[in-house]
Amino acid sequence: METMFPVNGVRLGIASAGIKKVGRKDLVIIELAPGTTTAAVFTRNDFCAAPVVLARQHLSQAAPRYLMINTGNANAGTGESGLLAARATVRALAERVGCAEEEVLPFSTGVIGESLPVDKLVAAQALALADLHEDHWQAAAEGIMTTDTRPKVASVRIPFGDHYFSITGITKGAGMIRPNMATMLSFVATDLTIAPALLKVALSRAVEQSYHRITIDGDTSTNDACTLSATGASVLPPISSETDSLYLSFCEALESLLLSLAQAMVRDGEGATKFFEIQVHGGLTGRECLDVAFTIAESPLVKTALFASDPNWGRLLAAIGRAGLVNLAIDQITLTLNDVLIAERGQRAASYTEADGVAAMAPVNIVLQVGLNRGTASTTVYTSDFSYDYVRINAEYRT
């Protein structure tokens, strides 16, 4: 279990509302101290859920004091009644704690198309509030899980001068993962004082290099979001400039922490047995490197070959060839799997043997290096394989 550093100004409470299964921890409330600033990114799926609509609206109106997360029900595809249900749970919590409704952000995850059990959620709010504690990050990570097999947490304490600052975060996500924002639920906090505009910039940059670099199955969720809160409880001075050395240190630590959480989601992908890192270099632009990487990462043929530990490198070449690159010179392509040269000049490498390929595909962690050899851009994307269990989990999701 990873050491979780509490963040001054943040308390977390967990309860069981019995939304999908009696006794399961499925409601988390996060309390933010007055004066906390919060930035967020949300799913770009046009069919976004009611809590996403409401959270976006509230975030534009006030600084959040409470984040309310439920699992077991996504409250998506529920129309106007879903919005009314989300508002009812927000209103109930606001009345309990004595804050404005706009100071509560709702988040939901679970089955799409079913009505949110408002009465169950409202009844459990008192239990979650009674459970509030600064050390409950691990329990909160468990409370937001759906098909995850384990909680995903990350925490750092960074020295700066004679003091230090903390960043702690949790995330959930194992399927329906293809970031077109962040495509999961993630809640991160720091005790630094950071101007709202700079907090938003830091989050956007970190998400781009972490949650936007993973895929499980190519599906962008209807619900998911990532929040970053700065409580201002640290003794370190306020950050008000992008050139501030403290800000630069924070941004570096934040990106590393989110990448750790992102990789944890890939490793816990539904039915996953392999962790596949795809490094594309030598592209004309970063965009075309991403196009190649994601085309490979989301190919069912590549992902099933991964599961079988089968070095079927022809599937890799086929994916590169359909990635949409303009004037791609296939005779410049090189492929390396776990340091084994598979292909060069667009064809099988003279030194390659099938035995070497099988050995390269056997480990849990596999690194593919794709050389486009047409420029200086590069990128890295992370994914998992498709196993029998991936099909089973998703076939049985509602049963």
Helices (H), the chain: 50-59, 79-97, 118-130, 137-143, 196-208, 245-267, 286-297, 300-307, 313-321, 354-361, 388-395
Residue 371 corresponds to which tokens in the numbers above?
């050389």
Roughly how many angstroms between the first and final C-alpha of the chain, as a whole number? 31
Buried b (16+ CB within 10 A) or exposed e, 342-375: bbbebebbeebeeebbeebbeeeebbbbbbbebe
Q: Can you list the positions of beta strands (E) in 125-237?
A: 152-160, 163-172, 185-190, 214-215, 225-230
- Rounded CA gap, 108 and 207, in Å? 20
Which strands sit side by side in the sheet containing 104-111, from one edge to the other?
10-15, 27-32, 66-73, 104-111
- Inter-axis angle of helices 79-97 and 50-59, to 10 degrees? 50
Burial class (CB in 10 A: 0-12, 13-18, 19+), 229: buried
Residues taking part in catalysis: 183
